[in-house]
Structure 1
Amino acid sequence: MVMRFIGGLLLLALSQFSFAADGLTASVDKNPVLVGEYFTLTIEATGKVGGETPDTQELAKIFNVGPMSTSSRTSIINGSISSSTTWQMQVLARRAGEFTIPAFSVSGMTSEPITLNVIPRDQDDGTQNDVFVKVALQDGPLYVQQAALYTVKLYVGKELLDGQLTAPELADTQFTLLGKQKEEYEIVDGRRYFVVTREYLMQPNKSGQFTIDGPIFNGQVREGYRRLAISAVGESVALDVKPIPENFPGAWLPSELVHLGEEWKPTEDTVTVGTPITRTLTLTATGVTQEQLPEISVPQIDGFRTYPDDSERKQISRDGRIISQMVSSIALLPQKLGTFTLPELKVAWFNTKMGKTQYASVPARSITVIADPNAPKAPTLPEVQKTEPETPQIDTIPQQASLPTTMIQAEKSWQDWLLLVSGYVLWVLTLGWFLFKKPTPASAKVTSSTVTQSDPMVELNAAAKQGDTKRYYQALMSLTSKLGAATLSDWASKQNDASLSHEIANLQATLYSSNNQQVDLSTLHKLVCATLKQHANKGKVNGNSLETLY
């Protein structure tokens, strides 16, 4: 009840005051102004505005308009209440001439338009030599998505305290700052300038006729003991952007020059089976970004396993041009013997200078895969010829006549008896030596075959135990070669075991692919041992034992 009474008294007191008249005014702090020089536009409203703000869309069509700041105040003087709202913004004119700042309306109130005089820089009293901006863009028309280098250089002839340089802007065009700005000093017309250089990568996304407005600089320099405000604006650049041709094949690649090259390791056209080949493709183009370079499609070749590597991309700016490069490496693992032809590779691109489609290519290449001459040859068993047993002709053997035998006993001399006794004594001594000789341990006996020949199964078991994939792969190739297989893949395919073929493919991918492929040596070794035991059992049945492999 008390609060209502106090509120009523306050309303009654406020009703005794009168409000000031409402109105809307607009003003500038400079007139005339220089081209590229910022000035402050102030719009002030007296009275209640209900949260409304002035519409600056028409103003932005003529000038560059900065962000708007708002402030409000209320005062009571001699019983009269006055309230006001003020909007301020920084405005810049890019071109010389006489311009009209349009009228603004807020809450039914309207301001008067302002006539503004913009003076060219060459009519200034020489202060334009203190600071200026230069821009550069490559000559000739651009095509949609073609990359161009837009360079901005700011020259300041006095000690720079602070400043702001805007980025170029254009509708439906992307500007990307390349790296960091460069700061250096240059001598221009005998005067030393502090120079700031920025490079922008520009890519238009729409065809048509455009104008790139130059960047704007606004800052402060030191002159003696004073701080002076300075500003400058770059020249506008006309831009003609052409559309993408309708009949272009493949991914759009506009450029002045495209080159596709390749390198081989080893360089020879004849390789042994199972030896990896590294093929490196390099695609270089000007006037496009590294992301625009298309992936090169390499077809699969029968008789080879293909393991592509991740592509490496990079780009640089040189002599006002963007140069991009992509390097792709592919590992080829020959699996079969014979001669194979790798087809030609082509990349379509559009020559922006000649205005037509061209192709960057590498020619086809033939590779001959031979057996490893150092691999041990498989043992060959002699062929058993089946012949009919010969039956002796008993009836044709002549019967010999029996001859009479006569026993004649010769008389022994003393020399004969001496020789007989000596031989008997020598026989007794030899028998005693053998009886009392210490036995030689069986482990000390080493045959020449165990020294010169190594058991491939022992090497395979050792590699599996150590988890050495490379050693295991070499031992497995040597083992299958002893079994008579031309290549490891041929041996695996003849086993009709999908799991074994899959694990061998994983082993090869682990060694020659960059896709972080992993192989389980324990599982692979179990499959190999099971397959070899099956062969051993078949060999015993057929009379061809493989027990020497275990």
Structure 2
Amino acid sequence: MVARLLHFSMFIALLMPMTTANALNFTASVDTHRVAAGNSFQLILKADEQAFNKQPNLAVIKQDFDILRNNQSNQVKIINGQITSETQWKLTLLPKSEGYLVIPPISYGNKKTKAITIKVTKASKSSSPQTSQLIFLDASSDKKEVYVQEQILFYLRVYQRSQLANASLSKPDIENTVIESLGEGRSYTAQHNGFTYDVIEYRFAIYPQKSGKLIIPPSVLSGSIASSTQRFRFDPFGNAGKPIRRKSQEISVMVKPIPASYPKNVPWLPAHNLSLKEAWSPTPPAFAVGEPVTRTVTLNATGVASSLLPPLPVPNSDDIKVYPDQPSYHSIAGSDGIMSERTESYAIIPTKGGDIQLPALNVHWWNTNTDTLEIASIATQHINVTGSQRHHQTDSMVNAPPPTINSDDVAPSSVAESQPSTNGTWTWIAIAAISLWILTTIALIWSLKRTKIATVTEDVLATSQFSSQKLKENHQQFTKACKAKEPRRTEKYFALWTAQLLQDRSIRSSAAVLNSLEDEALTKAINDLQAVLYRSKPLDEWDNLSLLDASGKIEKIIASQNTHSNALVDLHPNLS
């Protein structure tokens, strides 16, 4: 046993230089910034090292707070070969007075924490029956007047100095409101009418959806409490004791309508704080005609539920196509209420090359701290798009008149007339020879052309990265994903299959296929797939079989376009 302790001590001693070699962090935090007089709260101090012979200077706290408890713990973690150490002090503090009290910077070696402000409110006045009760309920709110959809922090506290069996507590349930629980109950001790109580405090964020007077009804606590004799004897029949039922106070809050100065054409959004940011994929973004680039816009707000965050504006321009994805939501419960996040991603596909302007994104919101209108913005951006629109040849090109003969190439009549006449026999011999030569040349060209086509085809199959095996595999994966209604896998393997089929490495999305193939049914089916991927179209409304049907005709479409191209070559050899 002694040897093990010695080995552990040596291990810790070896860790100490490693932890001190890194920059030391020493931080302070509290479990709440608002506490009633007579109630305690927790102050948590953390140092990124093993504190064996060092302690923070707690003397500065004692001027305004009593330290009821001080628990110290040490941790050593090894994650992926990285060693981290931490020492934590959990202090239970009791304020000495009401009002705004400041926990000053606390020293630890040459490090200091930041000051923390605590608001100590007056203790709630309980009715006379509660003065001597072993268990009672108390309720309060942080505001008595709010705007519609503004956050109200509601506190429900269970005071007890006796154990309660079979306990049941009703939580707030109010019409025309959105209610969010702010985590598990917070435990602390409190002095009340000369008695020390163990308190469990439950916190809720309430968002009224209608203006007018809001009534938060009393919550009810029921259970059984043991008598003084039952606490010290065994009861084989399981009698839990005297049943009790306790109620909290009724809370009234006045809810004001939306201010008249708020713009009428934007969503109403009251919050303590709000910010807007963006990210691109890939980073940095590279824009090309017909190729998607993903833009992710995130809205962060404090004091508003994530379910109440409005949709974000989407850029609107004739030079781009925008395909939104499903938005995502995230929220964290803090001491000041809900911190929410709404994230929206959408694919931007430029439709022309050159300089394109993305308009600014603006989110109007009402600052409930300053009672003023504010605007969060992402500024206007100019993007450079490479490539250009592909123009397909039309029938007018096929029917174009042949080039006119330059008059300079025709000999003047006087010159023609001045040529000596040729013997008729020799003329016919020359014509026959020329005709035979033309026929021989045509036959030779036709033979060489067939040989060339076969040779080129063999060379492509032998040397190109496009192969019949990949073509088959990608088509099987596409068919399987499409039948299973998996839009993202369908998009991936459809693009790979058509890229193999057309032998075009520039095809990386289903939308890019339309730059090479023209077919009404195929266009409709691809647009339907894009709507599911980027325009929030429900999956059950996706007609996946239409894409399968349209894809089965792609080879015929390619063949018809090749026939059209061959017609152009025959009429205009200079195009080949």
> Aligned equivalents of 1:460 and 1:125: distance in 2?
80
**Residue 312 of structure 1: aligned partner:** 328
> Aligned equivalents of 2:547 and 2:190: distance in 1?
70
| 2:162 matches 1:158 | yes
The number of residue pairs the alignment matches comes to 369
**Residue 452 of structure 1: aligned partner:** 463
258, 266, 276: which is aligned to 2:292? Answer: 276
**Residue 185 of structure 2: aligned partner:** 182
| 2:560 matches 1:538 | no
Deviations 1:111-156 (A, max 9, x none): xxxxxxxxx968679624x234333422463112323120111011
> Aligned equivalents of 1:483 and 1:174: distance in 2?
55
| 2:259 matches 1:245 | yes
**Residue 555 of structure 2: aligned partner:** 529
**Residue 151 of structure 2: aligned partner:** 147
> Aligned equivalents of 1:363 and 1:159: distance in 2?
59
Deviations 1:497-531 (A, max 9, x none): 43343244346567767744536555334543333
Q: Which deviates more, 132-141 or 311-320?
A: 132-141
**1:39-438 matches, cutoff 5 A:** 127-128=132-133, 130-139=134-143, 141-163=145-167, 165=169, 167=171, 174=177, 176=179, 178=181, 182=185, 184=187, 186=189, 188=191, 193-205=197-209, 207=211, 215=219, 217=221, 219-226=223-230, 227-228=241-242, 234=248, 239-248=253-262, 249=264, 250-371=266-387
> Aligned equivalents of 2:184 and 2:289: distance in 1?
54
- Higher fraction of helix: 2
| Gap regions ≥5 residues in structure 1 | 1-119, 373-383, 396-442, 546-550
> Aligned equivalents of 1:457 and 1:445: distance in 2?
16
> Aligned equivalents of 2:176 and 2:183: distance in 1?
21
The letter for the 1-side match of 2:185 is K
| Superposition deviation, residue 340 in structure 1 | 2.0
TM (norm. structure 2) is 0.51
> Aligned equivalents of 1:183 and 1:488: distance in 2?
53
TM (norm. structure 1) is 0.53
Tell me the C-alpha RMSD between the 2 structures.
5.0
The letter for the 2-side match of 1:451 is A
> Any idea what SS the aligned residue of 1:224 has?
coil
The letter for the 2-side match of 1:133 is L
> Aligned equivalents of 2:456 and 2:326: distance in 1?
56
- Residues 125, 337 of structure 1: alpha-carbon distance in 2 compared, 3 angstrom cutoff: closer
| Superposition deviation, residue 234 in structure 1 | 4.2
Deviations 1:164-183 (A, max 9, x none): 5455688x764746278638
| Superposition deviation, residue 288 in structure 1 | 2.7
> Aligned equivalents of 1:453 and 1:169: distance in 2?
68
- Residues 263, 544 of structure 1: alpha-carbon distance in 2 compared, 3 angstrom cutoff: farther
> Any idea what SS the aligned residue of 1:543 has?
helix
> Aligned equivalents of 2:173 and 2:567: distance in 1?
86
Question: Larger Rg: 1 or 2?
Answer: 1
| 2:525 matches 1:499 | no
**1:22-37 matches, cutoff 5 A:** none
> Aligned equivalents of 1:454 and 1:492: distance in 2?
22
Deviations 1:47-83 (A, max 9, x none): xxxxxxxxxxxxxxxxxxxxxxxxxxxxxxxxxxxxx
> Any idea what SS the aligned residue of 1:145 has?
coil
> Any idea what SS the aligned residue of 2:260 has?
coil
For the 8 Å contact 2:288–2:386, the answer to whether it is kept is yes
> Aligned equivalents of 2:128 and 2:504: distance in 1?
95
> Any idea what SS the aligned residue of 2:226 has?
strand
> Any idea what SS the aligned residue of 1:153 has?
strand
For the 8 Å contact 2:305–2:338, the answer to whether it is kept is yes
For the 8 Å contact 1:173–1:204, the answer to whether it is kept is yes
- Residues 459, 523 of structure 1: alpha-carbon distance in 2 compared, 3 angstrom cutoff: farther
